């Protein structure tokens, strides 16, 4: 089963909070207190997202974080790979440029290698076509439909 780490969950929570902000910056502490995400983990995630160009940081007493791009242009693939690193559906996709050794002893005769590559490409394409805006809008609709 494919599963992402809590770090990706937390990144989505933080990005949702930034997207629903007033367009200004929001402090990591404010995001953590409003969401229950542990502040030290959140701070590292926000630094990673800043390095990836997804968010920007502003220093100072009124500093914090804001979205560096519109929610429509941030893909789920971009988010996942910035937090988790490149994803690989099967082990043979993890070939390293620094090593000529095959990552799997079965690779030369493996009957599922090519189908797995096709599925991997389709999954990557799907993730590239899901925007943060879609995830946030779905969340807003679910919240609006809940009884008070």
pLDDT the model gives residue 1: 44
Q: Identify the top-confidence range among 60-69, 84-93, 110-119, 137-146.
A: 60-69
Rounded Cα–Cα distance for residues 18 and 55 (Å):
9
36: alpha, beta or left? (left if phi > 0; alpha if psi -120 to 50): left
Helical spans, DSSP H, in the chain: 6-19, 28-35, 39-51, 76-84, 113-128, 132-145
Q: Is the pTM of this model over 0.85?
A: no
pLDDT of 90: 72
- Rounded Cα distance between 15 and 66, Å, is 9
Written as six digits, the tokens of 21 are 């902000």
Category of 60 on φ-ψ map: left (φ > 0), alpha (ψ -120 to 50) or beta: left
* Domain residue ranges of the chain, discontinuous segments joined by +: 6-145
Kindly indicate the confidence band of residue 87, based on its pLDDT and cuts at 50, 70 and 90. confident
Query: Beta partners for 55?
Result: 67
Phi, psi of 55 (to 5 degrees): -125, 165
**Per-residue pLDDT at 133:** 93
**Average pLDDT for the chain:** 84
**CATH 3.40.190.10 for the 6-145 domain, yes or no:** no
In tens, the pLDDT along 33-51 reads: 999 999 999 999 999 999 9
């Amino acid at each position: 089963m494919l599963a992402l780490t809590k770090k990706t969950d937390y990144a989505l929570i933080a990005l949702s909070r930034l997207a629903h902000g007033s367009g200004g910056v929001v402090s990591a502490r404010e995001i953590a207190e409003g969401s229950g995400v542990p502040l030290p983990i959140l701070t590292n995630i926000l630094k990673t997202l800043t390095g990836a160009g997804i968010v920007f940081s502003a220093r100072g007493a009124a500093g914090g974080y804001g979205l560096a791009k519109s929610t429509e242009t941030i893909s789920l693939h971009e988010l996942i790979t910035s937090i988790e690193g490149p994803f690989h559906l099967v082990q043979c996709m993890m070939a390293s440029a620094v090593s000529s050794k095959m990552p799997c002893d079965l690779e030369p005769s493996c009957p599922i290698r090519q189908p797995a590559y096709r599925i991997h490409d389709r999954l990557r394409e799907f993730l590239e076509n899901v925007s943060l805006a879609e995830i946030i809008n779905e969340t807003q609709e679910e919240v609006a439909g809940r009884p008070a």
